[in-house]
Amino acid sequence: MWVIVVNGAALGAMTFQGAMDVAADFLHWVDHVCLGFFAFEVVAGIMSFGRRPWRYFKDGWNVFDFVIVVASFLPGLRENVTILRMLRLARIVRIFRSLPSLRVILVAAGKALPKSAGVFALTGLVMYLWAMIGWIAFYRTDPEHFGSVGKALLNLFQLVAFDDMGNVIRDSMAHNMWTLPYYVVFILFGAFILVNLMIGVVLASMEEAQKIDDEDGEIHADTALLLDRIEKLQVAVDKLAADQDRGREYTPFR
């Protein structure tokens, strides 16, 4: 993980012209050392599976690491400055693998998106209807905020995001006092209920992702134990067969 952090710091330093003028060679050297470490990590990971190197690619994170590292060495891509910078940036994403908590958050975000479709649709519908009501009621007295449905939607979006909410309400009230209950009702329903619904979906996805991560950890541990026992069994069977069939041609059990 610390190699990823150092690599990220070096890439960030490369964006400052002053740092490049002073230590460009050193920063490029750090980047090359980090790339070499990542390449060694990939090779060691493949070799750790022994006679089953293809098992390394059954993990999606392993495939990601392999693609990023191999692409960084391809001649055609290394000469393209933009692609090379993107590959360097992608190497920093590997920190999600080093920190399980970040990996759980990433998985939870992916699971929350499809589940949030209904909440997004409801939010969009409520905002559109409320913007239409605001346009009908206030477009004559407050054209700055309700001159069109688009302006009204932008106004409501500011309220949902709590972006300068106080000034928006005061400006509208200066034109029409009835905008206050209009805003209060929307804030109570839109900014609180709908936002809390979204938070609930995200929290449920976080819990599900954490459960899946725990189950995957148990499965990986059980798989490693099973493979170790199979290896020991193969060695024992080969030794037993060799002892019984000394002097005869024998093909070891594999």
State pLDDT tens for residues 70-116.
Answer: 887 877 666 566 676 777 777 777 666 666 666 677 777 777 777 77
Q: DSSP states of 80-123 as a string?
A: -HHHHHHHHHHHHTTHHHH-HHHHHHHHHHHHHHHHTHHHHHHH
Instruction: Average the pLDDT over 41-50 and give the result.
Output: 85
What is the percent of the chain where pLDDT is above 70?
Answer: 77
Q: Would you state the pLDDT for residue 133?
A: 92
Interval 241-250: pLDDT, tens = 666 666 555 4
The CA-CA-CA angle for residues 36, 42, 43, to 5°, reads 90
- Helix segments in the chain, DSSP class H: 2-13, 17-47, 60-73, 75-78, 81-92, 95-98, 100-115, 117-138, 143-146, 149-160, 165-175, 179-186, 195-244
The HSE-up count of residue 82 (CA atoms within 13 Å, CB side) is 0
pLDDT over threshold 90, residue 222: no
pLDDT over threshold 90, residue 228: no
Q: Would you state the pLDDT for residue 66?
A: 86
**Whole-number average pLDDT of the chain:** 78
Model confidence at 192, pLDDT cuts 50, 70, 90, reads confident
Fold of 110-225: Helix Hairpins (1.10.287)
The CATH class given to the 1-98 domain equals mainly alpha
pTM, 2 dp: 0.52
What is the percent of the chain where pLDDT is above 90?
Answer: 4
Q: Would you state the pLDDT for residue 128?
A: 92
Burial class of residue 205 (count of CB atoms within 10 Å of its CB; 0-12, 13-18, 19+): buried
Instruction: Kindly list the domain boundaries of the chain, sorted by start residue.
Output: 1-98, 110-225
Report the SS3 class of residue 183: helix
Cβ atoms 30, 10 nearer than 8 A: yes
- Of residues 146, 209, 196, the one with CA closest to residue 173: 146
Interval 140-182: pLDDT, tens = 888 888 889 999 998 888 888 777 878 888 888 888 899 899 9
pLDDT over threshold 80, residue 9: yes
**Fold equal for 1-98 and 110-225:** no
